[in-house]
Amino acid sequence: MSHRRPHPAGEDGQSLIIVVLFLAVAIGVCAVALDIGHAYLAQRRLQASVDAAALAGAQGLPDLGSANTLAGQYGNGGANTPSGVDGVKMTVTTRCLKSSPKCVPANAVAVTETGSVKTLFAGIFGIGSIDVKATATACSPCGEKPLDIMLVLDRTGSMCTDSSGGPDPNCTDMQNARDGLKTFLGLMDPTLDHVGFAVLPPARSLAGGCPYDGDSSSWYGPTNYVLVPLAGDYKHADGTLNSSSNLVSAIDCVQANGTTAYANALEAAQAELVKDGRPGVQKVIVMMSDGAANTGPPSYPAKSPYRVTPCHQGETSSAAIRSAGTLVYTAGYDVGHDVCKSYTGANESPAITALQALQSIASPGNFYNQPDAAQMNTIFSAIAADILHGTSKLVDNNA
C-alpha cells in the first residue's frame, strides 16, 4: 500500500504569494512598456515637427531672419505642433555644414524640440512623466550645384557723374559697382561656379597697363563685349579674391565712358555661356545698369530696333535668352526718372522707362532696384543669395 506524502505546512500559501508577486511584476512591466510606447509615439510626433521646421527654415537660407521665421511657422506653435506632448520648447539655430557648399552666411538650419509625456501606469513606481526630445538639421544648398554666370556691367559715362550730372573725378558710382561685383564673387564657389565678365559699351583692349580703356572709336562695335570668358580662378584657396585673375583685374580697371544699350551685351553674354559653358549647368546672367538705353550699333540700319527702340530690343533679346533656359537678373539704381530714347534722341514708341525695361529684361522676380549707388553691395548680396538658394533636405545632425 502506498502512502501520499503530506505537504509541508503553509506551502500552498507560499506558492500563492509567489504567483501574486510574479503577476504584479508582469503587470508592472507591461504597464511601463505601454508608457514607453506612448512616449515613443510622442517622440515620433516631435521628430515629424522638427523635420518639417528644419526643412521649411532651410528654404529661407541664406536669409537668417527668414529661416527662423519659416521654421517657427512649420514647427511647434505653427503648422506642426506635436499633439500629446506637454511643455514643448523649440530652439532654432543656423550653422555652416562643411559637407555642404556655399555657406553665405549659413547653409543649414538645426531645430530641437523638447517636452514631456505624462505616464499612465508608471506613476505607481514614482515615474510621473517621461522626457522626450527630437532634433533635425536641414541644409540649403545641400550639394554641388554648379553655375555658369556672366556679369554684365553698364560702364557708361554716367557712372562717373554726380547726382546733378556733373563730372565726378572719383567715379564714385563706378567704384561702388566694382565693390558690388566683387562682393558677389566673394559669395561664389570657384570650384563650382564659373564666372565671366561683359560690359556695355564694349571696351577696347590694350596691350599693356590696364587692359580695358574707357576710350573707343566705335562704341558698339562687334567685339569686346565679353572682356573675360567664364573661369574659376577668381579666388585663392583661402577664399580671398585673386586680384591677379583676369576677372578681378578687369573689374578693377575697366573705365567708364560711352552711352547705353542693353541688347548686344546681353546677347554677347549668352553667346559666351553657350560657347564656354558646361553641359547641364544652369546658366545665369546678372546685368547692372544705371540708366535707360539710348543707342545701338552704328553699323546697324537706321531703322533697326537696336537703334530706334533699344529698351524694347533689350526686352526682346532677353526673352530669347530666357527661353533658352538662362536665368536673367537685373540690378538698377537711380533709374526711376530715365526715359528710353532712340539714337536720334526721340522717345521710344511705345513709351518705356529704364525701370520698366530692366524689370522686363529680368526673369520674373529677379529685378533689384535701389536709389543709392552705395547700396550695390546690398543688391549683389541679395542676388547672390537668390541664385544660391536651393532645395532643402534633411542631413545628419553631425555633418
| pLDDT tens per residue across span 12-55 | 556 666 655 655 555 555 566 676 777 788 788 888 888 888 88
Residues 96 and 220 occupy one common structural domain:
no
DSSP 348: P
pLDDT value, residue 193: 93
Q: Does some domain include residue 125? A: yes
CA angle 204, 199, 309 (to 5 degrees): 110
Distance of CA 196 to the CA centre of its chain: 19
Domain that holds residue 77: 11-139
Residues 71 and 203 occupy one common structural domain:
no
| 0.85 surpassed by pTM | no
Residues 32 and 125 occupy one common structural domain:
yes
Question: How far is residue 139 from each of residues 6, 22, 56, 57, 91, measured CA to CA in Å?
Answer: 77, 52, 10, 9, 16
Residues 315 and 262 occupy one common structural domain:
yes
Q: Does some domain include residue 398? A: no
Domain boundary at 139, 159, 193, which? 139
Residues 167 and 223 occupy one common structural domain:
yes
Residue 130 bridge partners (DSSP): 117
For each of the chain's 399 residues, which pLDDT tens digit applies?
555 555 555 555 566 666 556 555 555 555 666 767 777 887 888 888 888 888 888 888 878 888 899 888 887 777 777 777 888 899 999 988 876 666 778 889 999 999 888 887 667 667 788 898 999 998 887 766 789 999 999 998 888 888 777 888 888 889 999 999 998 998 888 988 999 999 998 887 655 557 676 655 555 655 689 999 999 999 998 889 999 999 999 999 888 888 889 999 999 999 999 999 999 999 999 999 988 999 998 889 999 999 999 999 999 999 999 999 999 999 987 777 789 999 999 999 999 999 999 999 999 999 988 756 567 778 888 888 788 776 678 887 655
Going along the chain, which residue ranges are E strands? 86-95, 108-118, 129-139, 147-154, 193-200, 204-205, 212-213, 226-231, 282-289, 327-333, 367-370, 393-395
- pLDDT tens-digit map of 194-227: 999 999 988 876 555 576 766 555 556 556 899 9
User: Residue 168 — φ and ψ, nearest 5°?
Assistant: -120, 100
Domain boundary at 139, 156, 182, which? 139
Residues 276 and 329 occupy one common structural domain:
yes
Q: Does some domain include residue 247? A: yes
Residues 257 and 306 occupy one common structural domain:
yes
Q: Does some domain include residue 399? A: no
Q: Does some domain include residue 3? A: no
Residues 172 and 119 occupy one common structural domain:
no
pLDDT value, residue 239: 83
Residues 95 and 200 occupy one common structural domain:
no
pLDDT value, residue 374: 62
Report how far residue 368's alpha carbon sits from residue 131's, in angstroms, rounded to the nearest whole number. Answer: 48
Q: Which cell goes with 274?
A: 553657350
Q: Which is it for the CA torsion 69, 72, 77, 79, positive or negative?
A: positive
> Per this entry, what is the length of the chain?
399
Question: How far is residue 29 from each of residues 130, 174, 283, 312, measured CA to CA in Å?
Answer: 16, 77, 63, 79
pLDDT value, residue 358: 95
Instruction: Specify whether the CB–CB gap between 246 and 231 falls below 8 A.
Output: yes
Residues 28 and 84 occupy one common structural domain:
yes
Report how far residue 248's alpha carbon sits from residue 245's, in angstroms, rounded to the nearest whole number. Answer: 6
Provide the domain count of the chain.
Answer: 2
pLDDT value, residue 1: 52
Residues 212 and 266 occupy one common structural domain:
yes
CA angle 220, 225, 229 (to 5 degrees): 170
pLDDT value, residue 248: 95
Q: Does some domain include residue 221? A: yes
Q: Which is it for the CA torsion 200, 204, 210, 211, positive or negative?
A: positive
Q: Give the CATH number of the domain where residue 358 resides.
A: 3.40.50.410
Residues 168 and 52 occupy one common structural domain:
no
- Picking from 194, 185, 193, 199, the residue whose alpha carbon sits closest to that of residue 242 is 185
Domain boundary at 107, 139, 171, which? 139
Q: Does some domain include residue 298? A: yes
Q: Does some domain include residue 185? A: yes
